Chain A
Amino acid sequence: MTNTASPVIAASALTLSLSSGEARVEILRGIDLAVLPGEKLALLGPSGSGKSSLLAILSGLEQASGGTLHVAGADFTTLDEDGLAAARRGRIGIVLQAFHLLPTMTALENVATPLELAGMADAMARAEAELVAVGLGHRLNHYPAQLSGGEQQRVAIARALAPRPAILFADEPTGNLDHANGDAVADLLFARADEVGATFIMVTHDEALAARCGRIVRLADGRIVSDGGPGVAA
């Protein structure tokens, strides 16, 4: 990995304000952030600090109110909802705390879905390979309700990484799991991100988990209060 490449994420003066009735709530107040390809970055901060909102904006799930943002070569500030969806397709993987598997689909179908949305021909074969890689080769045709929490999160990881995304986002990936399962899932997440070669950005409360990332960005009250820089917290 080199640090001389141009950033895969370049954010400048990002703001997010939401209106709630008459009042406007400032959630992000000018975020400048550059993330290089292959970097592993943890967003840390107390509740309400804006870390999940920042992740949503960086992953194209939400549009910033102001500032500029370029992700994987696309100018996110000019794209509408559908444009962002297209930009995510195949390039961005997202793992959420509550797994969010599609309940009417088997594990295999869940993993194949983003591949199919991206128009990939051999979706099923690739999905199967991905599930085998996360250790669920024996659970291909099980429905989410038939899987344990840890297994569900593994399916979610396989689903996020199946299209070989340039960037993998994770929002509290172990938040819904017990300690043992959480550790196992975290190990898997880091290992698979490495194998795929994806830039990895994770939101967490967990200092220990954050410490496994090469860079820690701390937020408070919608602002970056510290940026560990590459290699600082390794």
Chain B
Amino acid sequence: MAEYVLLGALLCALALALGSGVAWAVVVWLFEFDWLPDWPRILGVLGAGVGLVMALAIGGSLGLLRSRPAQVLREL
């Protein structure tokens, strides 16, 4: 799991940079407003997104984690 946490952190940083860039373009160019982001809320959304993915991923692998080694070996 550790490798994916590291990867997730890297992706968060990237998403923050890229998403903000595009959002800036949408706000300034499309809507022609000022760029006034609320960073705590954006970080909150990002955190919630990562949390959701983690929850789904862990939920999805629960079966795998619960399975007994002997059973898996028999099925190979």
Direct contact of A and B (CB under 8 A): no
Task: Name B's A-contacting residues (CB within 8 A).
Answer: none
Task: Name A's B-contacting residues (CB within 8 A).
Answer: none
